[in-house]
Structure 1
Amino acid sequence: MNKTPYFHARRLLAVAALGLAMGAQAESEWPESFGYVGIQGSYYDIEKGRDHIGDIHNYWEPAAQVGYRFNPRFSMQLQYGQATTEARQVDLDVDTKLATLTGRVHAPEWSFTGFQPYAGLGYGYHEMKPDHMKKKEEHMVVGELGLQRLLGSHFMLDAGVRGLVETDDGFIDAQPYLGIDWLFGKQYRRQVVKEEPAPVVDTPVWVDSDGDGVPDHLDQCPNTPAGALVDEVGCPQILKESVNITLYVEFDHDSTTVKTDFYPEIERVAKVLTEYPGSEVLLEGHTDSTGSARYNQTLSHSRADAVMRVLVSHFGIGPERVRTSGMGKSQPIADNSTAEGRSRNRRVEAAIQASREEIRRR
């Protein structure tokens, strides 16, 4: 029998085992919604008693999948897998294909040490093609029970068992599975923290200790700075200001030299850091696909360090406010098969978010 599906299934299970090791890290927050793509290894346990084509040995099946979780309670997944096995009654190799489309209902409130349970229901199409013979097609009702767990912020482990009921003759197959998915397009729920107001002190005598025009027995914010505008309970009116700025610097091939053409862009970041003294900036270096991954990892980090040196030496930003990271060639923004695309991928990106609050004056 062709052992290729066994080989691929073992590789998929090895990837999932690595994911379990990653799961030992601190649990991440589940996004409100997200898309995902992934791979899965499964063992297809087929019920005996079909005709000589459909009566086949159990087999390992690798598969690819794509899905979207619309909210914490509902998702859909499309999966396709194929493998090779043997017929039980005759000496034939049989190629199999299985495609499923399922809707899943999740129960986030029943999380077990980070694992969230779900149940799924959908449609399956099963095709068996013996060598030199006509293929056999089966339409199936698919049911799923499984558990999912986040592995860091970008990956998800998916384990469970799938039941497949053949609609024509009622045969029931089982398919335990283990997979790992990469998440994209994550959306998180915004949390609003409400501050409890200070207790009101019942002072019958009109006393205004901080001179803000609100008596102490009504003043929920004592010791207001002189000249500050206050509300009806004596609390300063706060003017909030925020700014977001993004930096983009390109590099020549195999170079870490920052071109002076990009100094004005770097200066914009320096001005924001100066104006908002509590802010920090993260510089991420990137490369094109030329060269080995290890070399590009070092090169991308050197590029981020080069931009940091410009911020520190030319614009007087303290080095403790700048962090650098090398992303190598893992995050291209353009096609590496063209010179223009490779040029765009040789870059340093930075994102800075800053905010401040000021008390409004009279």
Structure 2
Amino acid sequence: MKKVCVVISILAVMLVSGLSGSAWAEILPGEMGISVMGGGYGFDDENDLLDLGKTFTLGLGYNFTRNIGTELLFSYVHSDADVCCSDDDVYMYQGQLDLLYHFMPEGSFVPYLVAGVGGMMYDDDNIEPNEIDDTFQVNGGLGVKYFITPNFALRFDGRYYHGFEDSSNEYALRAGLEFQLGSTPEKREAEPCTDADNDGVCDDVDKCPDTVANVRVDSEGCQIKSEPYAVMEKSGETAQPVAVSDVPPPPPAPEMMEVVIYFDFDHTQVKSLFHKQLEKLADHMKAHPELNAAIEGHTDSLGAADYNMELSRKRAESVKQFMVENYGIEASRFEARPMGETQPAEPNNTAEGRRLNRRAITITIME
């Protein structure tokens, strides 16, 4: 029982200390991971035959969803057996299939709960028959993964094992590394969704599905109220303007256009979801060669401020390069403006707010 308390105490300290960490990665469905860990393996207090052992573990995991994953672990355990007047080496082999539940999967610090089934096999000629038997085991525990990069994490794991053959109670505390396989920008890019009004908000969450083209919208797909409203109604296939007495006419404004696109965490790739909007911007600039465009790059607040400023510059440059290479707009007509995390569109204290802050804004301006 003392060993259980030690394991829980150490993991609790790691959980608390990691809550202040800044995020670099996230758990994503469909990704596989390889874990390499080492640590200590303790035996039942009533088992005076085996001493505290050393364990080496190799794991192969798969994420079904952001929260739920599975893992196959193989462990080698070495201990000493107190036989007669000397200590003899005892070698054990452990296999288990576990189910993991990840908390806060969108960040770098990912606590998890785990439970599974498996077994332990003993391999030693120095132990008398029936002193220690191979056994079927169930296990449970908790741990944390701390991502240093999107593909690489530190890992800490504590387990309790119950053996049915001899009603044994055993414990393991491990630390090691985890490598995420296939974590590329292309794979992390969100699957394309239906966006009928091309405002950058998917139809399944768009509360204003008939937004007029070329206006800035909020996270629910509705035109931002601080801007002059374009009031439209549907007539067949074409949106037609209607007169609304309580809506003032928009003031005269120079010919301009604004496009907002969003990025995956720690990435700069322009997603296919926003290609249509950028194509409209290109057509607009080709039709009005007197117009130039400013491209603002933004980030959420996770990570160091200097890193986020450089990331926002790369996002703005990525949009500029996309416009030049795909639509032939002269590079001299664009100005990249890195903003870092200094101008959030939404509060950064939620995952949704951080998603909306990972953006680039292109604005055409008169010159």
TM-score when normalising by structure 2: 0.48
Report the structure number with the largest CA radius of gyration: 1
